[in-house]
Amino acid sequence: MRVAMISMHTSPLEQPGIGDAGGLNVYVLNTARELARAGHRVDVYTRATRPSQGTVVDVTEGLRVINITAGPYEGLEKAELPTQLVAFAGGVVEYARCHGLRYDVIHSHYWLSGQVGWLLRDLWAVPLVHTAHTLAAVKNSYRSEDDTPETEARRICEQQLVDNANLLVVNTRDETDQLVEHYDADPTHIEVVSPGADTKLYTPGTSRNTERSRRELGLPLHSKVVAFVGRMQEFKGPQVLIRAVAKLFERDPSRDLRVVLCGGASGATADRAYYQDMVRELGLHRRVRFLDPRPPEELVALYQAADIVAVPSYNESFGLVAVEAQATGTPVVAARVGGLPVAVADGTTGVLVDGHAPENWADALAKLLDDDETRIQMGEAAVGHAEEFSWAACAQRLEEGYLQARLMPQQDCSARRAIGDGHHFDHHGG
C-alpha cells in the first residue's frame, strides 16, 4: 500500500522532549519505518519549521518526510496552528497532484492532523484512519489544578473525527472506553494496537555499562538514582517527583539519592526555570540535575544509569518511556492512569501509584530504593515484559487496520448533514 501519514504539528524527525515533540514523534517515526520495511510506501506530511529542511527528506527506503510550508517557519505557537489548517491541507493536495501521487489510506495523528485527513479522505476517496494520541476531554478530567484546560473547540474537532473517521486506532482498551464514554464512539470502529519499543537499541546494561554511563553523566557511582524523561510540563508531572523527593529528604536528610530530569520545556509552564526554582526552594539543588533532551542512542545511557525511572504523568495513552526504561532493565514507578497499567506490570516490573500526592510517591520510591533485592528482580522481569511490545508487531496490526478500513463503507452525505446541523454536538453540550 501507499500510505499518507499526517503529522501536521510536529515532525517525526524532531527531537522528543523538546517543545511539542514527544511520544507521538517516536510512534510516527517507528511505525512508518516498520511499514516501509514491510514493503509499503509511506509519506509523512508535516509542517515545515525551518527553510533548511528541504521539501523532502528520505528517511529510509520506502519512507519520506514531506515538509509543507504553511505559515511562518518560526514564531507560531501550537494554539495558533488551526489558522494554518487550510494552507497545510492545500500544500498537501498540491504536492500530491504535482507528483501524481495516489494513496490507498490516510493515517492522521492528533486532532489537527485529523482535520486535514478528514478533508483529504473525501478529496482522494480513500479511507481515513485516525490516532488521537491524547484527547481533550480526557486531559481535562485528569489535569492538575495548575494546568491549563484544553479548549471546547478542540473537543468539538475531536468529536467530528470520531464521527467521521473510517477507523480509530488506540493504544489500549482503556482508550477505547474513554472514546465511548466521552465521545460516544462506536466500538466496532476502534482498533487496539499497542505501541512498541526498540528493544535492539534499549538493552539491559551490565555493571560496566552503568558505571560508564554514570561517569559520563557526572553521577556518583554508589548513589541511588531516579530519572525522569519527558517534556517539562505540569501534565507530565515533574513537579510530583520533585515534591516527593523533598519528602524523602525530610524523612531522612542523609539519604544518598540523586535525581535526573531529562527534557525540554513545554506547555503553559514553558520555562524550565519554573522547575529549577522549585528545586532550589525545596533545598534540592545539590541533589537534582536537569539535562537537555537527547536522541535515543544517548537516552539508553540514562536509563541504564538509573535505579528507577519515574513516570508521574496525569495521563498517558500508553507510556513509551516506561517501556523503554524496562527494556534496559530498569524498573518503573508510574501513576496508575491511562495505558501505564498495561505498560508496567504492577508489582512485577515496577510499582503503580494511585494519585499524585507527594507522600504516596515518596512511599513508593522509598520502598523500592531501600529494597535492593526486589528492585533488581523487577529490573530482570522488566526486560522480558518490554519484549512483548515491538514496533514490528505494531506496524503489522496497523497494516491489518488499514486493510479493514479499506473494506468499510464511506459515510453518506445524510449522516454528514446531521452532524453539521449540530444535532450531535447538542447531545454533548457543545
Binding site residue list for 1D-myo-inositol 3-phosphate? 9, 20-25, 78, 110, 134, 154
Radius of gyration of the chain (CA): 22
Residue ranges for the known binding site for Mg(2+) are 303-304, 306, 330
Residue ranges for the known binding site for UDP-N-acetyl-alpha-D-glucosamine are 15-16, 23, 231, 236, 294, 316, 324
Question: Dihedral (C-alpha) 346, 353, 316, 250: value to the nearest 10 degrees?
Answer: -130
What's the CA gap between 380 and 199, in Å, rounded? Answer: 14
173 close to 185: Cβ distance less than 8 angstroms = no
Phi-psi region of 218 (alpha: psi -120 to 50; beta: other; left: phi over 0): left
Which helix (H) or strand (E) covers residue 130, if one does? strand 128-131
Find cell 478533508 and name the residue. 119
3-state secondary structure of 119: helix
Residue ranges for the known binding site are 9, 15-16, 20-25, 78, 110, 134, 154, 231, 236, 294, 303-304, 306, 316, 324, 330
What's the CA gap between 367 and 359, in Å, rounded? Answer: 12
Q: Which own/partner pairs from 95-103 qualify as long-range (CB within 8 Å, at least 24 positions apart)? A: 95/45, 95/55, 95/66, 95/68, 96/4, 96/124, 101/2, 101/4, 101/43, 102/2, 103/2, 103/3, 103/4, 103/43
Determine the Cα angle at 16 with ends 13 and 19, to 5°: 100
> Three-state SS across 33-94?
HHHHHCCCEEEEEEECCCHHHCCEEEEECCEEEEEECCCCCCCCCHHHHHHHHHHHHHHHHH
What's the CA gap between 125 and 104, in Å, rounded? Answer: 9
